[in-house]
Amino acid sequence: MELKDAAVVRMPGAFTRASVADLRRALAAGCRSDAPVVVLTGAGGDVFCTGLALHDDGPLETEPFREMLALLSDAPKPTIAFVDGAAIGGGFGMACACDWLVATERATFGLPELLWGLIPAMIWPAVVARVGANVARQWAVSAHTRSAAEAHDAGAVDELVAVDSAARRVQRAVRMLSRLEPVATQRLRQWHRETQTTPHADALMRGARLTQEMAASRVARARVSAFARGESPWS
CA distance 102 to 140: 22
Pair 39, 80: CB distance under 8 Å: yes
Instruction: Kindly state the DSSP code that residue 115 receives in the 8-state scheme.
Output: G
Per DSSP, the chain holds a count of helices (H) and strands (E) of 10, 9
Per-residue model confidence (pLDDT) at position 152: 98
Instruction: Kindly state the DSSP code that residue 47 receives in the 8-state scheme.
Output: E
144 φψ region: left (φ > 0), alpha (ψ -120 to 50), beta (else): beta
Per-residue model confidence (pLDDT) at position 235: 67
Structural domains of the chain in order of their starting residue, each with its CATH number:
6-178 (3.90.226.10), 182-228 (no CATH)
Per-residue model confidence (pLDDT) at position 230: 85
Per-residue model confidence (pLDDT) at position 94: 97
The tens digit of pLDDT for each residue in 14-63 reads 999 899 999 999 999 999 999 999 999 999 989 999 999 877 566 678 89
Strand order in the sheet with 146-147: 47-49, 86-88, 108-110, 146-147
Low-confidence ranges of the chain (pLDDT < 70): 56-59, 235
Q: Is 28 exposed, middle or buried (0-12, 13-18, 19+ CB in 10 A)?
A: middle
CA distance 155 to 131: 5
